[in-house]
Chain A
Amino acid sequence: MNLLETKGLTKRFGGLTAVDRVDFQVAKGELRAIIGPNGAGKTTFFNLIAGRLPPTEGRIWFKGEDITHVPPYEIPRRGIGRSYQITNIFPKLTVFENVRVAVQAMETTFNFWRDVRSLDSINRRTTEILERLKILDQKDVRAANLPHGLQRHLEIGIALASHPELLLLDEPTAGMTKEETERMMELIDELSKGLTIVLVEHDMRFVMSVSKKITVLHEGRILAEGRPEEIRSNEEVQRIYLGKQK
């Protein structure tokens, strides 16, 4: 059974069809990359899965359950974590608070009598995640003051808070230098050992080396799917997607 599956998933905005009858499947344990030129519908696709946008048509299943109309705040509880292309953190909170609040969301919202510092399990899990993402030493820094590369790490850290089984990463290396990208690659490789990851990326070298299977989106439709070598040699892909080599 596929971990994540969509059938006929479509999103139209007035006259524009951003996602066009996409049938997509990801098996457990995969590290799948989605590539495609700008405007191909990749972020919209993620938004649909994460419940941020309602689909115009089509269905989405996760672990066999229909999550098509599940509200966005329920999605992390189902086991899906998501990071954003444009950094979407809590700027005025510290690094620690950023992740802690995400961890807390899974356990309690309306508890108003206990001091959050005393909730050991939450604090412990937060520390674990920060350690994993190599930003524990920045824990008291306000997120807005972090250098860009570390903000992208934090971005993923927040997504990990909910113990996701599926991680959707939207251009994790956006805006990163070569060294930062290297670090991110190692991180994602390590994360993929325990999770299923679907990532959207533009960095071709990254994509070709980490992922076992690649899906190419173009104008909202799946143009091609296959192993990196197959995609690389696919003529159609080459035609519409030239020049994105890094």
Chain B
Amino acid sequence: MNRSIVRAVDWQFWISIPFLIILPFLTPYQAIATNILIVGLFATGFNILLGYTGQLSFGHASFYGLGAYTAGLLIVRLHAPLGIALLAAVVAATIAGLVIGYLSLRRSDVYFSLLTLAFSQIFYFLAFQLRSLTGGDDGLRGIPVFKPFGIDLGKPLGMYYLAFIFFIVMSYLARVILRSPLGKAMRAVKENEDRAIACGFNTQRIKLVSFVISGIYGGLAGFLYCIHLRHVPVDLFHWGMNGEVIFVCIVGGVGTFFGPIVGAIAFLLIHDYLQVIFTRWELVVGLILILFILFFNQGIVGAIENQIALYREKKAFRSQRSVVGGS
């Protein structure tokens, strides 16, 4: 059994907990730490779809925006309590995942990607046009500060630790899923869908399940965005949002566990910091993305994982004396 991948998930998860606990004290200002968690959560879900199941969605902004708008609309228009808003965001993301996923997965590869994009652009259009409902171009405003269980979300640390709880729970869930039979089935789809089918997997259904799961992560991230920034911009549905999460996953490491957080940190640092010294930060983002794709395809965390796996394999090879004919 492949101890190295499972153990990788293990050590990455346990290391991440203390690191994330102190994160707000490491970042230049505390609110950015929450942004890192939100983007990291979104990317964790996206990673399940891309890194483990091998499907590249261009429309994941749909879930981000849906989560944020659903929660936001319920809060602002219907004065819903936080719990209901959360539930609604998850339900909306699940339904959207089923519908968008079912339709988009009828095609594969780039056609699948473009279909997901089409859906997110339809949402963008709707959010833009239905001004009276969503605030249109200005976005949804007027989300109040919540104080669930006495935690003041208006204070950066309060919001952070709430987001932290979400993130840890969802990360743990991702860990459980990825080492379960479902996770292995998803991996088989990515590694060789044709053979996976021949082994007996209904890969269409597996892809759909993976899509819905990753959409739920996106919806939750959107929900957190909504209550953290207390404003839902229409840009959440824009395909640029998808580009962001792709960057995060590639730089952090597609198919790794801790990758999304590392990638989120990288992205947000560039976005917030670099912008101050060098306004053309997108240039840097683009160059880094290109560099990583050409030379560090596995991302930061992936490169580390590979080194560890290589080391273990060498050990395994060395301890086997049997020489196999002809090789």
Contact = CB atoms under 8 A, between A and B. Distances in A.
A/B: CB atoms within 8 Å of each other: yes
Interface of A: 50, 52, 72-77, 82, 84, 88-94, 96-97, 100-102, 104-117, 119, 123, 137-142, 145, 147-150, 158, 161-162, 176-177, 179-180, 183
Given A88-B195, A105-B185, A112-B177, A138 B320 contact: yes
Contact of A140 (B179, B184, B209, B312): B312
Given A141-B317, A180-B325, A91 B181 contact: no
A115 B185 contact: no
Contacts of B2: 93-94, 96-97, 140
A50 B209 CA distance: 25
A112 B182 contact: yes
A110 B206 CA distance: 8
Interface stretch (B19-27, B60-68, B197-205, B236-244): B197-205
B326 interface: yes
Residue from the set B3, B176, B180, B327 with the largest chain A CB neighbour count within 10 Å = B180
Contacts of A161: 199
B326 A88 contact: no
Contacts, number: 145
Given A106-B200, A110-B182, A180-B325, 12 more contacts: A72-B197, A73-B200, A76-B199, A76-B200, A97-B184, A110-B209, A111-B181, A112-B183, A113-B180, A116-B181, A116-B184, A140-B4
Interface stretch (B37-45, B103-111, B186-194, B275-283): B186-194
Given A96-B2, A114-B181, A142 B313 contact: yes
Contacts of A162: 199-200
Contact of A73 (B181, B203, B317, B324): B203
A122 B24 CA distance: 44
A104 B195 CA distance: 14
B327 A147 contact: yes
A105 to B, nearest CB: 4
Nearest to B177: A112
Nearest to B317: A141
A4 to B, nearest CB: 17
Residue from the set B183, B192, B316 with the largest chain A CB neighbour count within 10 Å = B192
Contact of B1 (A82, A97, A183): A97
A92 B191 contact: yes
Interface of B: 1-4, 6, 176-177, 179-185, 187-188, 191-192, 194-203, 205-206, 209, 309, 312-313, 316-317, 320, 322, 324-327
Chain B binding site: helix, strand, loop or mixed by DSSP?
helix
Contact of A111 (B1, B182, B317): B182
A149 B185 contact: no
A10 B198 CA distance: 21
B192 A88 contact: yes
Nearest to B182: A112
Contacts of B179: 115-117
Nearest to A183: B325
A101 B180 CA distance: 11
Nearest to B195: A88
A140 B187 CA distance: 17
A84 B206 CA distance: 23
Nearest to A78: B200
B28 to A, nearest CB: 38
Given A90-B195, A147-B324, A77 B200 contact: yes
Contacts of B316: 140-141
A177 B184 contact: no
B174 to A, nearest CB: 10
B5 to A, nearest CB: 8
A116 to B, nearest CB: 5
B94 to A, nearest CB: 15
A113 B174 CA distance: 10
